[in-house]
């Protein structure tokens, strides 16, 4: 699994930013960005949020919770997840079964 620093560096390079440019955008210093990238220093959650915004990714991606840079960036999907979170517990437990059935159905169609 990639470290925070490696994901940060890859995200910065994908945007074509130097360490100095990224630091300027988050109101920091390039030497700090370098320390983040070398995993010498861990940023605060507020800094991680700023980095995710500037790099057009998610906090979850930078922190290693997902390998997909775009996961949960779709506003309509985030709305759905928030709606699910507000449901009664019994209803929430049914949703993964229904989703799994639909996903498996799509996968089977793709094989045929």
Half-sphere exposure of 6 (CA within 13 A, CB side): 5
Unique residue bearing structure tokens 């989703």: 99
At residue 80, does pLDDT exceed 90? no
Most confident range (mean pLDDT) of 14-23, 54-63, 86-95 is 14-23
CATH number, residue 13: 1.10.260.40
C-alpha dist (Å) from residue 46 to 17, 59, 89, 98, 105: 20, 10, 31, 36, 41
Contact of 60 with 71, CB cutoff 8 Å = yes
pLDDT digits (tens, 9 = 90+) for 27-75: 999 999 999 999 999 999 999 999 999 998 888 889 988 766 665 666 7
In a domain, 68, yes or no: no
Asked if residue 53 and residue 29 are part of one domain, the reply reads yes
Q: How many structural domains comprise the chain?
A: 2
Asked if residue 88 and residue 49 are part of one domain, the reply reads no
How far separated are the first and last CA of the chain, in Å rounded? 34
- Containing domain of residue 100, as a range? 75-111
Asked if residue 22 and residue 50 are part of one domain, the reply reads yes
In a domain, 69, yes or no: no
In a domain, 67, yes or no: no
Q: What is the pLDDT of residue 65?
A: 80
What is the value of pTM for the model shown?
0.66
The torsion angles phi and psi of 106, rounded to 5 degrees, stand at: -65, -40
Q: What is the pLDDT of residue 77?
A: 75
In a domain, 70, yes or no: no
Q: What is the pLDDT of residue 50?
A: 96
Q: What is the pLDDT of residue 45?
A: 95
- Pairwise CA distance, residues 17 & 11, whole Å: 9
From 21, 40, 62, give the residue that closes a domain. Answer: 62
Asked if residue 45 and residue 92 are part of one domain, the reply reads no
Confidence of residue 6 (pLDDT cuts 50, 70, 90): very high
């Amino acid at each position: 699994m990639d470290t925070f620093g490696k994901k940060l560096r890859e995200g910065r390079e994908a945007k074509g930013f130097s360490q100095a440019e990224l630091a300027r955008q988050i109101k920091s210093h390039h030497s700090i960005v370098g320390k983040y990238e070398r995993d010498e220093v861990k940023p605060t959650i507020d800094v991680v949020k700023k980095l995710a915004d500037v790099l057009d990714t998610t906090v979850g991606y930078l922190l290693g919770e997902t390998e997909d840079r775009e996961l949960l960036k779709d506003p309509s999907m985030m709305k759905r997840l928030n709606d699910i979170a507000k449901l009664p517990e019994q209803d929430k437990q049914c949703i993964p079964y229904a989703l799994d059935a639909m996903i498996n159905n799509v996968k089977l169609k793709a094989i045929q």
